[in-house]
Structure 1
């Protein structure tokens, strides 16, 4: 696992949880330490409760359209088909550039099927107020590849060590580069030695380049021009 360093407790939505729920929901199984992330002017630490949540977290934060993110936001009260009052805790609340806030539930696909969670999610969605979220989204392990998650995690690690020379060197090279070409070909042209590969990966996630992120990004990955101005 790649560990990211520096610390600040994540700002969260606060809520008084019913007795019996708080001890269950506060089972923190892991922590991701994010330093100098582009969304925040100070380092933050984000808690997660499963490896699946961690992978989704990295992919969400790698999105260029994400403005802010809260983990384990306040619970939602709803009534199921039988009218029984229940509580649901979303795993993430994400705000996007267009102003939309999306409440995200992260669950293994097997659990979704076993619990018939899609039916339950319909009642949860109906109970959500607009001041909390505009949309609800379920993400399972079938919605992305393992390579996609590992690529996003690697991006965060490379970004932590980002050198001021990387992007100018990449922008200069792209002025005359005959794309598409492999990551290795482009990295070799940057004159950054071992940092060339890291610079290209960061360039992919920051919009200078495009590549298939669902497969492992390696020396043979083909890159094309991105849509960043």
Structure 2
């Protein structure tokens, strides 16, 4: 599905342009990944030589990870990616891509995301628009004392902050302060646990 629009980052209020629904979903997924520090849309084109001729290619995004690694991101409909053998094309030119630009290439198609993935990434992006405050501190206190598993609803109830508590709990999931222990959309029934290195009881 074709779409053109902009996402505003929740830190720095920077505008990231997307040109398809796949790009939108990829951007939301990358924003939700705590290992991603910066997402650059339409990065500078790279130059490669094929069959004796020089060409230019522009990736859809460049993700800069907190580790310093730079990942080139391509977004394409699965049928077109398969028809054009996009993975084979990138393998054939990978050695010509400067390591200062990227050390890895990732291809996203519509098959890369479940409906729950898309919903959760969008919900997290929306909740991160709120300023961090009392609700986040309350959720952090609950998470810090959590051993074993509970539901988001139980955590929200413990904070006594209703919708604000729920939105803070979603941010805690995004920050990995809480970890979902089941697949599916995040809601009040979602079962969560502390990070694996803290969980001591089921």
What is the TM-score when the length of structure 2 is the normalising length?
0.87
Residue 174 of structure 1 is aligned with which of 143, 164, 174? 143
**In the TM superposition, what are the counterparts of 1:72-151 in structure 2 within 5 Å?**
72-80=42-50, 82-151=51-120
Distance 1:152 1:163 in 2: 18
1:62 is matched with 32
1:33 is matched with 8
Aligned to 1:194, the other structure's residue is in SS state helix
Distance 1:60 1:146 in 2: 16
Q: Name the one with the larger strand percent.
A: 2
What is the TM-score when the length of structure 1 is the normalising length?
0.78
Deviation, structure 1 residue 190: 0.9
**In the TM superposition, what are the counterparts of 1:149-228 in structure 2 within 5 Å?**
149-177=118-146, 179-211=148-180, 215-226=184-195
Aligned length: 197
CA RMSD, Structure 1 to Structure 2 (Å): 2.3
Question: Is contact 1:209-1:227 (8 Å) kept?
Answer: no
Question: Is contact 1:204-1:226 (8 Å) kept?
Answer: no
5+ unaligned residues in a row in structure 2: which ranges? Answer: none
Deviation, structure 1 residue 123: 2.3
5+ unaligned residues in a row in structure 1: which ranges? Answer: 1-27
1:43 is matched with 13
Question: Is contact 1:78-1:123 (8 Å) kept?
Answer: no
Once the two structures are superposed, residues 184-214 of structure 1 have per-residue CA deviations (whole angstroms, 9 ceiling, x without a partner) of 1211111102222111111111121001585
Aligned to 1:172, the other structure's residue is in SS state helix
Distance 1:213 1:53 in 2: 26
Aligned to 2:128, the other structure's residue is in SS state helix
* Farther off after superposition, 104-113 or 159-168: 159-168
1:52 is matched with 22
